[in-house]
């Protein structure tokens, strides 16, 4: 006799008429969940002889992992770099809002700040798992202050530091690195190779950015453990045919065989031209990671806003330092960035980013991609994917799921 799952214990949820990523494939199959985890439907039906307590018709949508946001400075007026009180409350507010845009895990980002600010803020930014109440925190992205002042962008000049004493200077500035996931630095700084090596050995992803580095300096940094480029094309030397600078890392022959260089792209329609999006993706699809680089003004109405010590103006769907045309980050949400990428590249690409550990990184949190390419099933690529629907996991392992479709209109389900 078949009975309802509630008689067994917790209720069963069955997603019907959906498409699921399996390896590098996309298959049509129902998905069963219980207690926030995916379960094997054959064991449920044949062994326990139960049917689902609730069935959801996905109407042909794709179920996959939710978005992972690797670079976000804040939202809804919350500035991760400035809020020294009620830090946890601010994180909770932003993480809840991010779910509305499909983000299930993120790295709150702190831009170049003074040591006392880091010492006040970082102890309150702990890694955490996500839930239906808010996105999970993979760790902090420390964007600066070890950057080149010539490419500081909106970072405050008085906060910029060097590491003449190597890693000790890094520790003195940040206080501790217990919850650091990514550190952005300029590889042309003195002692950078040793610092990069030691940070990588600690399981921290070292990203290259806000830099005047040439290609050789970038290659040396990668050979010492760097594996990421912060917002490619922005706050770095432009591509040149005699020295392609950091952009050249996408096709460099000096990258170790067991090492992949990933790069963030701000696909908001403002920071990066559609042609640049296409160029980057076509020459190195495996490394692509869409980021928003969203500033605290994300979610605020057009006009002037005071965020910390700076006045920011929101106009024409972009945020600039008041009275200038200097971009100070994006105000686009992740789903808008993915939609823009899809429309700009004219390619039907569906990519899944999962929380994982990369062996050559020495542990720590990074992302292992899987891809289904509707045209030719390319090599695995790396970008964010779909919208949050349910907090669940793959047969016993907790994971974030989303429901959506990139074949046609890209809408939150």
- Three-state SS sequence of 71-85: EECEECCEECCCCCC
User: Is 79 labeled as catalytic in the residue annotation?
Assistant: no
Establish whether 328 is an annotated binding residue.
yes
Establish whether 329 is an annotated binding residue.
yes
Angle made by CA atoms 189, 383, 204, in degrees to the nearest 5: 40
Establish whether 226 is an annotated binding residue.
no
Q: How many CB atoms within 10 Å of residue 75?
A: 27
Dihedral sign (CA 27, 30, 36, 41): negative
The residue to which tokens 């102890």 are assigned: 123
Establish whether 234 is an annotated binding residue.
yes
Structure tokens, 272: 């990066």
Structure tokens, 233: 């094309």
Per-position DSSP letters for 116-181, written without gaps between them: HHHHHHGGG---B--BTTB-EE--EEEE-SSS-GGG-TTS-GGG----TTTHHHHHHHHS--TTEE
Establish whether 231 is an annotated binding residue.
yes
Grouping H, G, I as helix, E, B as strand and the rest as coil, residue 47 is helix
In 3D space, the residue among 138, 234, 209 whose CA is nearest the CA of residue 179 turns out to be 138
Structure tokens, 313: 């103006």
Establish whether 242 is an annotated binding residue.
yes
What gap in Å lies between CA 404 and CA 411, rounded to an integer? Answer: 7
Instruction: Determine if the peptide bond prior to 145 is cis (ω within 30°).
Output: yes
- Give the β-pairing of 37-39 and 50-51: unpaired
What gap in Å lies between CA 77 and CA 160, rounded to an integer? Answer: 24
**Identified catalytic residue from 79, 268, 293, 405:** 293
Establish whether 154 is an annotated binding residue.
yes
**No. of helices (H) and no. of strands (E), the chain:** 8, 27
Establish whether 235 is an annotated binding residue.
yes
Report whether 208 contacts 185 (CB < 8 A). Answer: yes
Establish whether 386 is an annotated binding residue.
no
Dihedral sign (CA 90, 96, 98, 100): negative
Structure tokens, 352: 């899944």
Grouping H, G, I as helix, E, B as strand and the rest as coil, residue 335 is helix
**Annotated binding-site ranges for substrate:** 154, 234-235, 242, 271, 327-329
Residue numbers belonging to the annotated binding site: 143, 154, 210, 231, 234-235, 242, 271, 327-329
Residues acting as catalytic residues: 293
Q: Which residues are annotated as a binding site for Zn(2+)?
A: 143, 210, 231
């Amino acid at each position: 006799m078949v009975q309802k799952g509630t008689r067994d214990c917790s209720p069963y949820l069955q997603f019907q008429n959906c498409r699921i990523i399996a390896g590098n494939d996309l298959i049509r199959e129902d998905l069963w969940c219980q207690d926030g985890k995916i379960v094997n439907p054959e064991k449920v039906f044949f062994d326990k002889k139960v049917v689902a307590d609730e069935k959801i018709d996905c109407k042909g949508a794709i179920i996959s992992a939710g978005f992972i946001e690797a670079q976000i400075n804040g939202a809804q007026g919350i500035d991760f770099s400035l809020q020294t009180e009620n830090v946890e409350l601010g994180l909770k507010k932003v993480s809840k809002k991010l779910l509305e845009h499909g983000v299930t895990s993120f790295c709150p980002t702190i831009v170049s700040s003074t040591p006392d600010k880091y010492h006040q803020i970082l102890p309150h930014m702990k890694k955490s798992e996500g839930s239906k109440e808010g996105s999970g925190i993979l760790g902090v992205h420390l964007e600066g202050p070890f950057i080149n002042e010539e490419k500081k962008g909106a970072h405050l000049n008085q906060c910029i530091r060097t590491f003449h004493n190597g890693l000790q200077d890094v520790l003195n500035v940040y206080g501790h690195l217990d919850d650091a996931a990514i550190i952005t630095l300029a590889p042309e700084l003195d002692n950078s190779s040793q610092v990069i090596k030691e940070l990588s050995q600690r399981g921290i992803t070292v990203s290259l950015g806000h830099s005047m580095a040439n290609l050789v300096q970038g290659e040396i940094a990668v050979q010492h453990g760097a594996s990421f480029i912060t917002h490619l094309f922005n706050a770095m030397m432009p591509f040149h045919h005699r020295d392609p600078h950091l952009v050249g890392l996408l096709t460099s022959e000096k990258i170790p065989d067991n090492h992949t260089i990933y790069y963030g792209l701000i696909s908001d329609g403002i920071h990066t031209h559609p042609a640049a999006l296409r160029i980057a993706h076509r020459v190195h699809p495996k490394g692509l990671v869409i980021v928003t680089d969203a500033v605290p003004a994300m979610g605020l109405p057009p006009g002037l806003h005071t965020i910390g010590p700076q006045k920011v103006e929101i106009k024409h769907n972009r945020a600039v330092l008041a009275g200038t045309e200097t971009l100070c980050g994006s105000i686009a949400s992740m789903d808008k960035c993915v939609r823009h990428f899809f429309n700009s590249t004219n390619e039907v690409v569906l990519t899944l980013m999962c929380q994982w550990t990369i062996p050559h990184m020495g542990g720590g949190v990074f992302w292992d991609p899987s891809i289904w390419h509707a045209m030719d099933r390319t090599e695995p690529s790396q970008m964010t994917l779909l919208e949050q629907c349910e907090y669940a996991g793959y047969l016993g392992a907790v994971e974030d799921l989303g429901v959506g479709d990139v074949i046609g209109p890209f809408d939150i389900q």
